[in-house]
């Protein structure tokens, strides 16, 4: 009767077992929960089955592509975060500069107005009714002159005698 062919253990396991020395307690390096030899066929994928050909290589390629995508995604997150922080800071700076420019222009306009009306005294004089009436009359005359009407001569300025 023919003897069954037994698989040989890998050389590394044979050598490790042969070199175990109980005096220095290296017995934990050997497999104790599984029989010696490679553990092919115990997983569901083809990644640990070197004997399987095309299906396993497609499987391995898929696994490696997934790992590649995960690593790329993990390295993109910090870059995207820092980019978003930098854009926020830039927007804050631009908004601050626009606000500062608007304040500067307002201050300059106020300064020019105060200079033009004698440091505000002309504006304060409008609180006096006689001055206000005189200013309103002058403005009305200026409007009539702008429309090519003579504000002094009666009947040419739509000022009927009354």
pLDDT at residue 75 greater than cutoff 70: yes
70 in the same domain as 109: yes
Q: Supply the pLDDT for residue 134.
A: 87
84 in the same domain as 127: no
Q: Per the domain annotation, does 3 fall within a domain?
A: no
Residue range 93-113: average pLDDT?
93
Of 4-13, 21-30, 58-67, least confident by mean pLDDT is 21-30
Domain total for the chain? 2
Q: Per the domain annotation, does 15 fall within a domain?
A: no
- pLDDT mean across residues, the chain: 76
How does 72-90 read in b/e, with b if 16+ C-beta sit within 10 Å?
eeeeeeeeeeeeeeeeeee
Residue 126: domain span:
118-162
pTM of this prediction?
0.35
């Amino acid at each position: 009767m023919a003897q069954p062919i037994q698989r040989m253990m890998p050389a590394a396991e044979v050598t490790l077992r042969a070199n175990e020395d109980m005096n220095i307690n290296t017995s934990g390096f050997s497999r104790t929960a599984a029989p010696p030899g490679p553990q092919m066929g115990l997983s569901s994928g083809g990644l640990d089955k070197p004997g399987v050909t095309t299906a396993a290589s497609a499987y391995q390629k898929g696994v490696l592509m997934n790992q590649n995508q995960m690593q790329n995604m993990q390295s993109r997150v910090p870059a995207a975060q820092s980019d978003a922080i930098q854009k926020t800071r830039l927007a804050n700076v631009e908004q601050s500069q626009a606000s500062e420019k608007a304040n500067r222009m307002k201050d300059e306009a106020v300064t020019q107005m105060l200079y033009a009306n004698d440091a505000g005294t002309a504006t304060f004089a409008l609180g006096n009714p006689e001055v206000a009436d005189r200013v309103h009359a002058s403005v009305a005359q200026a409007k009539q002159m702008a429309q090519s009407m003579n504000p002094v001569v009666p009947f040419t300025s739509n000022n009927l005698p009354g």
